Amino acid sequence: MAETHQKSFPGVPVVFCFPSAPSGADLSLDSGFTGVQGDISAARTVDAALRLLPDTKHVTVVGGIAPYDQQLEAAIKNQLKSYETRLNVSYLTELTLPDLLRRLHELPSHSIVLMSALGRDPAGTTLTSAELGPLIVGASNAPVFSMNDRHFDHGEVGGDISSAMEQGKLAAGLAVRLLKGERGLTPVKDASVYMFDWQALRRWGLDERNLPPGSIVKNRQPGFWEQYRRYALIALIVLLSQMAVILALLMERARRRRTEADLRRSEEKFSTSFRQSPLAIMIVSAKTGCYIEVNESFECQTGCDRREVLGRTVRDIDLWMPPQDGSLSMDQLLAAGSLASGEMPFKRKDGQMRTALLSVERIEVNGESCVLCVIADITERKRAEEALSSVSRRLIEAQESERVRIGRELHDDVNQRVAIIAVRLKTLARELPPSESRTLRTLDQISTDVTGLAAEIQALSHRLHSSKLEYLGLSAASEAFCRELSKQYEVNVQFQSDELPDNLPNEISLCLFRVLQEALQNAVKHSGVRDFDVSLSNRSGDVELVVHDSGVGFDFNAARLGIGLGLTSMRERLRLVDGRFTVRSKSQQGTTVVAHVPVASKTVAN
């Protein structure tokens, strides 16, 4: 066709389909040809077989003597040359079918069979793939591997399979494109896929985990759920329906019993779990505010006997103290009937003051609306938190004291000495004759370096202890710090400040100033940008500090779990002044650090 195309069919495009084109075939065609070129994959199939059977020593190729059979055999020999040094590769291609089946039955151990094309044997016998496949698989005492879907699904293990149907679809698609007027379509190669038979794998004891990645396993036997899913679902629906009916009957029976029961609030109404719970539990009537029941833990934690409590109101017992933080009192909580978690002080019968963590939920007991309170004594935990807070405060105070000492030492002592050295260097330079030009240049460079060192020491002393913060206040000190940092790192820091509350406590000013230092220095070093925004805002008497950049951002959760102490230090400082610390950051979307401190109550206290 390639030789006679232009003569016999001038200008007519030709679509070809080579289901298993032998490698090395000459496909030098003119532009009028297009189609699908399949490709045998003997090497890839043998590689897959060696993954499944690594102790393989013999590879037997089965084929015939038809012209196409011989072409395919030649291509297979070419692909398997590299394996002949480590495998015994033999070709059973010139045997009659009975002799071939007999030889396959007598293969040595550690063998595999590779199925080629067998269109005709020397006796002239011709069989279809559907007829030949079961004969080969049934006679062979070794696993049979194949390279196309015509030799698959008859008990073969499988291999790198090329699909004739998919090749036909590709060829048909090219033909449709030609009919629509497209020209110059280049031939395409069909992509094979690793495909294996589940039953054959089971037969030969081959492990699916050793299959090449992306392999397809066909003919997998369905499990119990796949086989009987419909019946199981029907049975489940019937069972659930029966359970629903039974549950409805039980609920009706329970309602009838509750209606008939007397309004007795005795011990028998409560389970052992209520009595022995490690948490204190009390049930209070929502209507009257009287205690209906308490458990043993309630008696232990409050020191009140159960008989002293039942039938009396919350106000009669005078157990719960009004919260100091302005939150709801016990009477208000009982009226509201709901609280997920809250702290409340209470006074034991012996006068000890304790702190309780309680949750409140409205329930119904015998048709009466009641309030269930679950109480945990967290006094020791609160004391531990206060002790930890005190230690943290002392550590920060010690750190600040040391900062002040070092800052003053740098400013008053070290920096003065460096300045004296700079003056002496300049004096020495003036005393040298002009002929010592090289020495003068060296002294000038040293003098410049010493002056720069003095400036850096000065800046460091200001960062350690800002006199502006002490004498001019938070706003002025923050603006000065932003200006110094801009000059030092050659960046642009936009600072904006509202009028802050008068008499701002020193501890809040110092806290926010240190947070500003840490946040802005982190942003300058790690954000990758040169523009930053800093604002100090007056939020109804509270102070809010915001440091923002539009840089690379970071994973806040990963940073929080890292070894850096910056985030921890900022959060701990703000916790000591009852402040809130928030970081909003995403990769490549910038970072915003927000520090909010309530100052109204602290200003009054000061």
Domain coordinates in residue numbering, the chain: 40-161+191-218, 267-377, 380-465, 469-606
Cα distance between residue 115 and residue 132, in whole Å: 10
pLDDT, average across residues 361-367:
79
- Could you tell me which of 440, 591, 576 has the C-alpha nearest to residue 521? 591
- Provide the pLDDT confidence category of residue 197 given band limits of 50, 70 and 90: very high
Highest mean pLDDT, choosing among 344-358, 437-451, 519-533: 519-533
Question: In b/e form, how buried is each residue of 258-283, taking b as 16+ CB within 10 angstroms?
Answer: eeeeeeebeeeebeeebeeeebbbbb
- Mean pLDDT, residues 350-366 taken together: 81
Helix (H) or strand (E) holding 405: helix 379-409
**What number is the average pLDDT over the span 221-246?**
84
Amino acid at residue number 179: L
Q: Is the pLDDT of residue 558 over 70?
A: no
The Cβ of residue 337 has, within 10 Å, a number of other Cβ atoms equal to 15
pTM of the model: 0.38
From 14-18, 98-102, 287-291, the region with the lowest mean pLDDT: 14-18
Q: What amino acid occupies position 397? A: E
Write the Ramachandran bin of 588: left for phi over 0, alpha for psi from -120 to 50, otherwise beta.
left
- pLDDT value of residue 270: 54
Q: What is the pLDDT of residue 563?
A: 43
3-state helix, strand, coil in the chain (%, to 5): 50, 20, 30
Mean pLDDT of the 27-55 span:
83
Mean of the per-residue pLDDT values for the chain? 81
Q: How far apart are CA 543 and CA 499, in angstroms?
A: 10
Q: Which one, of 126, 143, 139, 136, lies nearest residue 45 by Cα?
A: 143
So what's the pLDDT on residue 128?
Answer: 85
Q: Percentage of residues in the chain with pLDDT exceeding 70?
A: 83
Distant-in-sequence, close-in-space partners of 37: CB < 8 Å, separation ≥ 6: 18, 21, 27, 187, 188, 189, 190
The answer on pLDDT for 564 being more than 70 is: no
What is the C-alpha to C-alpha distance for residues 90 and 361, in angstroms, rounded to an integer? 83
Which has more confidence, 317 or 200? 200
Top-level class of domain 469-606? alpha beta
User: H or E element: which one contains 595?
Assistant: strand 591-597
Distance from C-alpha of 241 to C-alpha of 359, rounded to nearest angstrom: 37
CATH 3.30.450.20 fits 267-377, yes or no: yes
Mean pLDDT across 485-500? 90
Considering only the C-alpha atoms of the chain, give the largest distance between any 2 of them, rounded to a whole number of Å.
Answer: 120
**For the structural domain made of 40-161+191-218, what CATH number should be given?**
3.40.50.2300
Kindly indicate the confidence band of residue 54, based on its pLDDT and cuts at 50, 70 and 90.
very high
